[in-house]
Amino acid sequence: MSAQQRTGLTVIVLAAGGGTRMKSKTMKVLHPIGGRSMIGHVLTAAQALDPEQVVAVVGHQREAVSAHIHASFPDVVLAVQEEQHGTGHAVRMAVEAVAEQRGQAISGTVLVAYGDTPLLRGDSLREFADEHEAAQRAVSILSGIVPDPFGYGRVLRNDEGDVEAIVEEKDASPEQREVREINSGILAFDAEFLREALPRIGNDNAKGEYYLTDTIALAREDGLTVGAHPIDDVMQTEGVNDRVQLARIGAELNRRIVEGWMREGVTVVDPATTWIDADVVLGADVTILPGTQLLGATVVAEDAVIGPDTTLKDCEIGSAATVVRTQGVLAVVGAEAIVGPFSYLRPGTILGTRGKIGGFVETKNAVIGDGAKVPHLSYVGDAEIGEGTNIGAGTIFANYDGVNKHRTKVGKHARTSSNNTFVAPIEIGDGAATGAGTVVREDVPPGALAVSSGPQRNIEGWAMAKRAGTAQASAAEIALAGRRDDDQGMAES
């Protein structure tokens, strides 16, 4: 238990439903949004409270959902709802799972949330729990005041402000439909009352399910207090049921993330075309240009400029670096380095301080030293390039022999020429050089010049002989005739 752990608080996250309206092979709560799964966002919010325990109730595709949860949230208790008989039944499975796995009954306060509400924030849950506990209620409802409550369950209060009931739209009277306070479905309970009430919930309804909201009537029957806590930002409680809602909530989440970074001192030139995942970290005075996506666990240090038209996933960008029209995955770019335009940084790329990866360059599993440059039209795979070295345009690091990958090492302050091919495994020494068009198949000693091409040989009249009747041959004939005329004129003079 951590020093800040909130004892006596349990958060139950319901994630057992099938989500059939998503029409997807992927379980609804596993759909990604802002770089995390939907349930990942909710569990992150739950853990922000430092609760004594978090319980996730799984059902449909429980193997996939359980594996996903335990990969990122290993301390979460899993409860299995074999058959989905409603929210009351799901919470009962959670309570029983805690008792079985932890050897003790749930006590204190219990919050119940849903795995398809990715905008939910930990500070909102904390305020809800604090207000519930301060009021010493049996049940509290996280509610919201909305301008158009159509379709939502209405929260009905008495003259003292306590909640009398929740009435659904179809069952509400005209007067009740005028109520603008709605039920989000997120509830807080006194654990002792919850344990006693769960077995009393009936399933005498059209679906034959056990509804958790029936606990409100049970609490009122017992003479206990039921209240509601209106959340200012009602959209945090909005669930995602289909792809249309997924896109809309995803856009809203991104808007919030981008706006948050701008308030922290990041310049975003065009927020409408900028996407930033929830786990991205940005330094002060970073500038993000239009059409940029920063995904996964990407970290960008202060004063860096990213974009336009750049996608980086799980990358680390150093201070004052510039990355233009580039795609990168699992790459590291050093401070004051320059990348792009139209570069592709594949996993394992490490570019040193003030280094350069230029236009139309692809790198993979390559360490490029401080101040080293690969400026133009090259492929650098499985390589190490030393400090201050310059790689000529159109260079290919031939790392694959058809079966195995091999590595090339280029030393410090080497100068290689254009259109080289380095056939790995080879080593080019410090201060070495290569000639244009050279195919390097053997090691080059430090300070040596490697040249593989022989003397140039010109075959006169080849175009006329081999390409007779073509524009190429005609152009050659005209040029040669002009040259003969020039030579004759010079001879006569």
Catalytic residues: 376
- Cα separation values, 113 from 87, 96, 221, 237, 310, Å: 11, 17, 24, 9, 36
Tell me the C-alpha distance between 354 and 243, whole Å: 44
Letter string b/e over residues 238-263, b meaning 16 or more CB atoms within 10 A of that residue's CB: bbbeeeeebeebbebbbebbbeebee
Tell me the C-alpha distance between 132 and 139, whole Å: 8
Cβ contact 143:181 at 8 Å: yes
Nearest to 219 by CA among 185, 181, 190: 190
Tell me the C-alpha distance between 271 and 290, whole Å: 8
For strand 109-114 and strand 6-15, is the pairing parallel, antiparallel, or unpaired? parallel
For strand 181-190 and strand 299-300, is the pairing parallel, antiparallel, or unpaired? unpaired
C-beta contacts of 430-439 below 8 A and 24+ residues apart: 430/386, 434/392, 436/392
